[in-house]
């Protein structure tokens, strides 16, 4: 009897000790792809195909997280970013994302790049309740919080940028004759919709011609020729680097000198302007929300941190390429969201943290621009600054336009 009592007391003590430890265990709640030492993230990038110039973004993001891992990771966990090629082909994106979710069992997707690519997967990822954070697209519909609660874009919307550019244009050239050239997908259509909103009901009449192109087209030469014949003195274009390069070169070589406005998606000096010829790009107008020129920011500590990372972790990358700065900034923002999750690394909490950013400052963003999200607002960046290219650098033109 006495021995039974001793056994009972031992069992009771063990049970009490186990119960006391439950809160500690409860503090660590994990979703797929998470352990005590690792967080597995997935990503598709166009390392090949018509917009392969964007592939360097993925390499920069891989470099950033390698740097973070070398410093101990995020809350003690290393980030394993699985970055795969989709060739900017929507069917390939679907295939790769299914593999990342169902075979690799990633915790979340980060920065899947491209408007058509993301439109192809958005219903799937939302049906699976897989967060896709800071998507690389300007398509407004990808930020529809009601339709796609598990998706959050990064880029300012094409509508926002187009509206701002049109408002600036209306003041700069009130009697303009405008020609529009845009990629025939949500990237191009959203930007042009913003242009028309910004011009207003009367300014809308200033548009004298429109032309589109497909991402599979070899060139946009024929569209440029047709738009010039319209008599336009302003050319507005929304698209991707390859076609931006072609258009800048063709416009210049035809001795056509319109005021040329381009979308932020093809404003990179290294991947768009240099291939076209910097002398041919003088006078271009675009917009930005982050520091895009290492030479002009030589005394900036945040820019020096970026350059240091590039030298050590991505030495083959061009640190002056705006697309690499973009990759660095998006990785830094995702780092912040993961850090806020603490030990509650569930997909639900990841979305909770991503949708509760309030005036979050990032050192590589331009002054006055912070990250703001909510359960109904999945677009973290709400303003941009107009800029003009002077042959070497993009120069700020004026104040940012708010949402």
Which residues, 6 or more positions from 332, have their beta carbon under 8 angstroms from its beta carbon? 64, 362, 364
CB 299 within 8 A of CB 331: no
Per-residue pLDDT for 155 more than 80? yes
Question: How would residue 76 be classed by pLDDT, with cut points 50, 70 and 90?
Answer: very high
Question: How would residue 7 be classed by pLDDT, with cut points 50, 70 and 90?
Answer: very low
Quote the radius of gyration of the chain (alpha carbons, Å): 24
Question: How would residue 401 be classed by pLDDT, with cut points 50, 70 and 90?
Answer: very low
Distance in angstroms (rounded) separating the CA atoms of residues 395 and 386: 8
Query: What pLDDT is stored for residue 205 in this prediction?
Result: 87
Per-residue pLDDT for 338 more than 90? yes
pTM: 0.85
Question: How would residue 399 be classed by pLDDT, with cut points 50, 70 and 90?
Answer: low
Residue 369, SS3 per DSSP: coil
Comparison of pLDDT for 20 and 325, the residue scoring more: 325
Q: How far is CA 342 from CA 9, 64, 71, 331, in A?
A: 37, 20, 17, 17
Query: What is the pLDDT averaged over residues 336-362?
Result: 97
Burial 56-87 (b: 16+ CB within 10 A, else e): bbbbbbbbbbbbbbeeebbeebbbbbbbbbbb
The helix (H) or strand (E) run that includes residue 183 is strand 178-183
- Full set of structural domains in the chain with CATH: 38-156+296-383 (3.40.50.2300), 159-288 (3.40.50.2300)
Query: What pLDDT is stored for residue 351 in this prediction?
Result: 98
Share of the chain above pLDDT 70, in %: 92
Share of the chain above pLDDT 90, in %: 85
Question: How would residue 299 be classed by pLDDT, with cut points 50, 70 and 90?
Answer: confident
**pLDDT tens for each residue of 219-256:** 999 999 999 999 999 999 999 999 999 999 999 999 99
Alpha helix locations (H) across 73-207? 90-98, 115-127, 158-172, 186-203
Query: What is the pLDDT averaged over residues 367-394?
Result: 95
Query: What pLDDT is stored for residue 295 in this prediction?
Result: 80
Comparison of pLDDT for 149 and 402, the residue scoring more: 149
List the structure tokens of 329: 């900034």
List the structure tokens of 262: 């381009």
Residue 77 carries which DSSP code?
B
Query: What pLDDT is stored for residue 285 in this prediction?
Result: 97
**pLDDT tens for each residue of 302-314:** 999 999 999 999 9
Burial (CB count within 10 angstroms: exposed 0-12, middle 13-18, buried 19+), residue 172 = middle
Distance in angstroms (rounded) separating the CA atoms of residues 364 and 88: 27
Question: How would residue 27 be classed by pLDDT, with cut points 50, 70 and 90?
Answer: low
**pLDDT tens for each residue of 50-67:** 899 999 999 999 999 999
Comparison of pLDDT for 9 and 283, the residue scoring more: 283
Per-residue pLDDT for 21 more than 60? no
Q: How far is CA 386 from CA 46, 161, 186, 309, 322, in A?
A: 28, 9, 22, 28, 16
Question: How would residue 12 be classed by pLDDT, with cut points 50, 70 and 90?
Answer: very low
Which residues, 6 or more positions from 344, have their beta carbon under 8 angstroms from its beta carbon? 27, 28, 29
CB 324 within 8 A of CB 8: no
**pLDDT tens for each residue of 178-211:** 999 999 999 999 999 999 999 998 777 899 999 9
Comparison of pLDDT for 93 and 299, the residue scoring more: 93
Distance in angstroms (rounded) separating the CA atoms of residues 148 and 154: 14
Mean pLDDT over each residue of the chain, to the nearest integer: 91
Distance in angstroms (rounded) separating the CA atoms of residues 172 and 394: 18
């Amino acid at each position: 009897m006495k021995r039974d009592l001793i056994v009972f007391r031992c069992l009771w003590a063990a049970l009490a000790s186990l119960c006391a430890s439950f809160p500690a265990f409860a503090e660590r709640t994990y979703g797929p792809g998470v352990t005590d030492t690792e967080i597995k993230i997935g990503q598709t990038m166009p390392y090949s195909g018509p917009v392969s110039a964007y592939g360097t973004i993925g390499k920069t993001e891989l470099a950033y997280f390698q740097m973070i891992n070398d410093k101990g990771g995020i809350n003690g966990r290393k980030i394993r970013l699985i970055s795969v090629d989709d060739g900017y082909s929507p069917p390939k994106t679907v295939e790769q994302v299914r593999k990342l979710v169902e075979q690799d069992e990633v915790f979340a997707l980060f920065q899947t790049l491209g408007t058509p690519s993301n439109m192809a997967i958005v219903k799937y990822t939302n049906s699976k309740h897989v967060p896709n954070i800071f998507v690389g697209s300007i398509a407004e519909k990808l930020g529809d919080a009601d339709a796609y609660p598990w998706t959050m874009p990064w880029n300012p919307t094409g509508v926002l940028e187009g509206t701002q550019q049109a408002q600036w244009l209306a003041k700069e050239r009130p009697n303009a004759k405008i020609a529009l050239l845009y990629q025939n997908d949500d990237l191009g259509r959203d930007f042009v919709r913003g242009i028309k909103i910004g011009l207003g009901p009367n300014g809308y009449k200033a548009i004298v011609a429109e032309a589109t192109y497909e991402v599979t087209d070899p060139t946009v030469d024929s569209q440029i020729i047709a738009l010039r014949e319209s008599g336009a003195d302003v050319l507005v274009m929304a698209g991707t680097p390859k076609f931006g390069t072609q258009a800048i070169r063709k416009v210049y070589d035809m001795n056509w000198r319109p005021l040329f406005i381009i979308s932020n998606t093809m404003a990179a000096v290294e991947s768009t302007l240099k291939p076209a010829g910097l002398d041919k790009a003088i006078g271009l107008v675009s917009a930005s929300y982050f520091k895009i020129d290492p030479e002009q920011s030589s005394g900036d500590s945040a820019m020096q941190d970026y350059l240091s990372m590039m030298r050590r972790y991505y030495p083959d990358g061009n640190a002056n390429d705006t697309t690499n700065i973009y990759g660095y900034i998006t990785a830094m923002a995702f780092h912040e969201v993961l850090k806020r999750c603490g030990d509650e690394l569930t997909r639900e909490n990841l979305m909770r943290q991503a949708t509760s950013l309030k005036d979050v400052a990032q050192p590589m963003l331009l002054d006055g621009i912070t990250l703001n999200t909510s359960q109904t607002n999945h677009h973290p960046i709400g303003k941009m600054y107009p800029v003009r290219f002077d042959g070497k650098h993009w120069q700020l033109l004026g104040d940012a336009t708010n949402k």
